[in-house]
Amino acid sequence: MTDLLLLIGARPDASGAAPSPFAMFLPIVAILFIYYFILVRPQQKQAQRHQKLVASLKKGDEVVTDSGLVGSVISVNDEYVVIKAAENVKLKFLKSKVAARTGDTADDKKK
């Protein structure tokens, strides 16, 4: 090990003391901090926006489902939404499967 350290220009620790526990855990804490702000927090915000969308659905809204079906909302209850996809075609979906309103602009989605 000391040969490898000498090859890369580092000097081995003469005292043989172990590094402090704080210095060992600092990189792990930094990685967890970065992980939270890059992955977890944006996903939580997206979930909150989707919950607001689902809660605000009302009759007459033009919506797109997760599967790509575009239609108009006919009725809404606690768990389901009925969508009119074409003339005489009514489909019942879970409210959570509504992906977006078709009338929403990019600015509305950010709010």
pLDDT tens column, 78-111: 999 999 999 999 999 999 999 999 975 444 555 5
DSSP character at residue 9: T
Collapse the DSSP code of 11 into the 3-class scheme (helix H, G, I; strand E, B; otherwise coil) and give the result. Answer: coil
User: 71, exposed or middle or buried, with CB in 10 Å at 0-12, 13-18, 19+?
Assistant: buried
Q: Which pLDDT score, from 0 to 100, does residue 107 have? A: 44
Average pLDDT, the chain: 84
Tell the residue number behind the tokens 């979906």, with chain if given.
93
β-bridge pairing 70-76 and 80-86? antiparallel
Domain ranges of the chain: 2-8+11-110
User: Taking the model in full, what pTM does it have?
Assistant: 0.66
